[in-house]
Chains A and B, each alone.
Chain A
Amino acid sequence: DTGVSQNPRHKITKRGQNVTFRCDPISEHNRLYWYRQTLGQGPEFLTYFQNEAQLEKSRLLSDRFSAERPKGSFSTLEIQRTEQGDSAMYLCASSLHQGQPQHFGDGTRLSIL
């Protein structure tokens, strides 16, 4: 399967801990996106990369959130000092070019105890 891959699928952690998620995009896609989705809402944009460059970050992305895509391939999203409000599904998507369809991974569901 050459789709978008996300790990882990589920993460349960205590408030205040740090967590890191990984996303492997479709191999030829140079654009990679992170979204967050809570129940009853559509995905909300967090940040995106073109190759290794992080081109935009949402105002939703506080300084506790950081994302990297060091070699323009996989990406990581880290949340430091997690809070209850961080509980959500974190989705990664990739696309070949700007404006073209984005394909999503299965997501990482984060639960903060």
Chain B
Amino acid sequence: QKEVEQNSGPLSVPEGAIASLNCTYSDRGSQSFFWYRQYSGKSPELIMFIYSNGDKEDGRFTAQLNKASQYVSLLIRDSQPSDSATYLCAVFSGNTPLVFGKGTRLSVIA
């Protein structure tokens, strides 16, 4: 069974710091990796996706993928209180649906 693991948190960081969120996955054949942000009571919102090993940057967000170690991470620079949310890691492996982790709750303290 394909699994995606995330630390449930909460991860607390001070405002302005870098938040680092990690995710590991079990299927070595996984191809596409996604990070979603979910505010309480709301639906998931796509914030980053990455397909190749290495880093991908978009504004304050950087996704990092290491297929050999089967982990993907999300860095949030200059964290803001508005970044406080649950961050979901999702992994796609060929002809199977997206598999989501349970999410990491991030709290940015002003």
Residues of A with Cβ closer than 8 Å to B? 33, 40-45, 48, 56, 58, 89, 91, 98-107
Range of interface residues on B (Cβ < 8 Å)? 20 to 34
The stretch from B37-45, B55-63, B70-78 touching chain A is B37-45
- A91-B44, A99-B31, A101-B49 known; A42+B97 contact, CB < 8 A: no
Closest to B92 in A: A99
- A98-B95, A99-B31, A99-B92 known; A104+B101 contact, CB < 8 A: no
| Measured CA separation A33–B98 after assembly (Å) | 10
Chain A CB count within 10 A is highest, among B34, B88, B98, for B98
Using Cβ atoms and an 8 Å threshold, which residues of chain A touch B45?
104
Q: Is B46 a contact partner of A102 (Cβ separation < 8 A)?
A: yes
13 extra interface residue pairs, beta carbon distance < 8 Å, beyond A42-B102, A43-B98, A99-B32 = A41-B102, A42-B4, A42-B90, A43-B88, A56-B96, A56-B97, A98-B92, A99-B92, A100-B32, A101-B49, A102-B46, A104-B43, A105-B43
Using Cβ atoms and an 8 Å threshold, which residues of chain B touch A56?
96-97
- A48-B97, A99-B92, A101-B34 known; A43+B44 contact, CB < 8 A: yes
Residues of B with Cβ closer than 8 Å to A? 4, 8, 31-32, 34, 36, 42-46, 49, 88, 90, 92, 95-103
Using Cβ atoms and an 8 Å threshold, which residues of chain B touch A106?
42-43
Using Cβ atoms and an 8 Å threshold, which residues of chain B touch A40?
8, 102
Q: Is B43 a contact partner of A33 (Cβ separation < 8 A)?
A: no
Using Cβ atoms and an 8 Å threshold, which residues of chain A touch B90?
42
In the assembled complex, the CB of A45 is this many whole angstroms from the nearest CB of chain B, namely 4
In the assembled complex, the CB of B24 is this many whole angstroms from the nearest CB of chain A, namely 14
Using Cβ atoms and an 8 Å threshold, which residues of chain B touch A100?
32
Chain B CB count within 10 A is highest, among A33, A44, A104, for A104
| Measured CA separation A45–B32 after assembly (Å) | 16
**One of A41, A58, A101, A107 near B43 (C-beta < 8 A):** A107
| Measured CA separation A32–B99 after assembly (Å) | 15
Using Cβ atoms and an 8 Å threshold, which residues of chain B touch A41?
102
